[in-house]
Amino acid sequence: MKQFEHVLAEEFPVMYRDFGLDAAARAALDRYADELTQWMSGVAPWHAQTRRYREEDLKRHRAAGGTGGGRSAPGSAPPRLGVTARGRARWARVALGAPPGSMDKSAPCVQLR
């Protein structure tokens, strides 16, 4: 937050001058910066209170063997279900009003890929 406040106080005026921004452009950027300030003042307490960001929970997950990389670690992708084109067509017909289990070719169908 302090770095953001520094940017607003010290670097915005330099940017305004360097780019020759008129009063309307400056006002628009000031409004946007004010909205960001308000958002950060609300989200900071949330981050401080949620368990997701507590040090003891982060350490517990690391100790359990987590990679810290989310689902991007090799071998962590969910298995493919192998839905066939016929199965996709059946689901499309059901979604468009055909009775479940119906293979009525006259029912509306969309092609899903």
Per-residue model confidence as pLDDT tens for the chain (113 residues) = 788 889 899 999 999 999 999 999 999 999 999 999 988 888 878 877 777 767 777 777 666 665 555 555 555 565 555 555 555 555 555 555 555 555 555 555 444 44
Same domain, 59 and 8: yes
- Is residue 90 one of the residues assigned to a domain? yes
Please check whether residues 43 and 15 belong to one and the same domain.
yes
Tell me how many domains the chain contains. 2
Query: Which range of residues forms the domain containing residue 109?
Result: 82-113
| 75 located within any domain | no
The model carries a pTM of 0.42
Same domain? For 17 and 43 the reply is yes
Q: At what angle do helices 23-49 and 12-19 cross, to 10 degrees?
A: 150
Instruction: Give the 3-state secondary structure of the chain.
Output: CHHHHHHHHHHHHHHHHHHCCCHHHHHHHHHHHHHHHHHHHHHHHHHHHCHHHCHHHHHHHHHCCCCCCHHHCCCCCCCCCCCCHHHHHHHHHHHCCCCCCCCCCCCCCCCCC
DSSP 23: H
Give counts: helices (H), strands (E), the chain: 5, 0
Q: Quick check: is 71 in a domain?
A: no
Same domain, 28 and 56: yes
Instruction: Note whether residue 10 is domain-resident.
Output: yes
60/90 same-domain check: no
